Amino acid sequence: MISEFLRNKMALACLVFISAMLLFALFAPAIAPYDPTHIDTKNILAGPSNSHIFGTDTLGRDIFSRVVYGSRISLSIGFIAVGIAVFIGVVFGSIAGYYGGRLDYILMRFVDMMLCFPTLFLILAVIAILEPSIFNIMIVIGATGWMGVARLVRAEILSLKERDYVTCARVMGASDVWIITRHLIPNAIAPVLVSATLGIGGAILLESALSFLGIGVQPPTPSWGNILMDGKSTLGVAWWVTVFPGIFIMLTVLSYNVIGEALRDAIEPRLKTRASS
């Protein structure tokens, strides 16, 4: 699988970019030249220059520093939200696939019901009740994005639970929890890894959309979405306020999608071999 992935040059380039973004997030205080919340009334809407390479916004804050610090918020929301979604999806999918019958029917109908609600409107409804905050955004995005993972895990476990090693584990007296956690989930995790990689890009994009609408990460904490929101009123006179964070959002989401597709192509032969064995 690794060798197949390494042959994909585009995926490797995207992996390098994502690694750079992670370094930006980890070492933001050392990389950012200014405090991202510092207001400089003498440099309001200053264009890109040697002192402010991405220019400044309507309050004179350095855009590059805000983009660097914003990577911390946007990437952490993406990772944690997807982690929550994967956890919920794996639990639901493994229980439904292993036990089957009426429990499987009830759980899958609940999944279908959740899929009927448009995700963005469901999130808007929840955030209208809760206070907009980084923690709530992570929880809400994760709690509304697990259904696809649940279906993937269920489909895998439906086939895996009939394998000989599962039957042997039952004969030896292994509990259902042991079989699910030690035998089934580890062998069903490959498509979940692909889904999670694609989901990180989607979560970052969704957080940016919520912040752009003003109901996501709240100022003065910088995120890529609320940096865009700050620049929408000055787009005609200060293009740099929206263009630079927009480029980072586009490249990050695109990179995760390319990596996810490459992982799927690399894992697929193994899945085919396993299914035929």
Residue 39 lies in a domain: no
Let me know if residue 148 belongs to a domain: yes
Say whether pLDDT at 274 is over 50.
no
Measured distance CA(135)–CA(156) in Å, rounded: 32
Q: Which distant-in-sequence residues (6+ apart) come within 8 Å of 253 by Cβ?
A: 201, 202, 204, 205
- pLDDT greater than 50 at residue 221: yes
The stretch 256-270 carries a mean pLDDT of: 81
The answer to the question of residue 18 being in a domain is yes
277: confidence class by pLDDT, cuts 50, 70, 90:
very low
User: What total number of domains does the chain contain?
Assistant: 1
Residue 86 lies in a domain: yes
Calculate the alpha carbon distances from 230 to 74, 165, 203, 218, 226 in Å: 16, 57, 21, 11, 6
**pTM for this structure?**
0.85
159 in a structural domain:
yes
For residue 93, name the pLDDT band (cuts at 50, 70, 90).
very high
Scan for tokens 């895990």, then name that residue. Answer: 153
Asked whether residue 40 is domain-assigned, the answer is no
CATH assignment at residue 85: 1.10.3720.10
Cα gap 160→182, rounded to integer Å? 12
Q: Does 211 fall in a domain?
A: yes
pLDDT tens, position by position, 158-217:
888 888 888 888 888 888 889 888 888 888 888 888 889 889 988 888 888 888 888 878
Portion of the chain with pLDDT greater than 70, in percent: 96
Distances in whole angstroms, Cα of residue 225 to Cα of each of 141, 194, 229? 15, 25, 6
Residue 35 lies in a domain: no
Domain housing 81: 2-28+45-276
